[in-house]
Amino acid sequence: MVGDKDDWATLAPFLRAQRQMARLSLRALSQMTGVSDSYLSQVERGLHQPSPEVLKAMAGALGVSATTLYERMGWIEADEPEAREGVELAIERDPRLTEAKKAALLTMYRVLVADD
């Protein structure tokens, strides 16, 4: 499934907001992802749509689920069972958590299960 222009138009500012919320400069995000800061700037301004690999790198650096970004782009269906882990989905849907708390919990959860 391929995302349309509207999907990208809403995701680009979301990525910028996530970076700003994480208090990362474009240069810091560039170092974390291995993607140039000028390219990331174009992505955040909606001038260039990144590949799934770049989007995944950005997601990891920002503490956001790559699956969530792929869903927002329309690249995968939100109801695909293999697309989401139950714990991650529960964290992202919990209305009591701020975006920063969700990012922190998701990061901690992924670190804890990565060794398994």
Would you state the pLDDT for residue 31?
A: 96
Note whether 29 and 19 are within 8 A (CB).
yes
Specify the CATH number for the domain of residue 36: 1.10.260.40
DSSP 69-95: HHHHHTSS-TT-GGG--HHHHHHHH-T
Q: pLDDT tens for residues 6-37?
A: 567 778 888 998 899 889 999 999 999 999 99
Our count of domains for the chain comes to: 1
Q: pLDDT tens for residues 70-102?
A: 888 878 776 544 445 678 878 888 888 888 888
Query: Is the pTM for the entire model greater than 0.75?
Result: no
Would you state the pLDDT for residue 33?
A: 96
Note whether 17 and 46 are within 8 A (CB).
no
Would you state the pLDDT for residue 99?
A: 85
Q: What confidence tier does 5 reach under pLDDT thresholds 50, 70, 90?
A: low
Domain extent at residue 31: 5-114
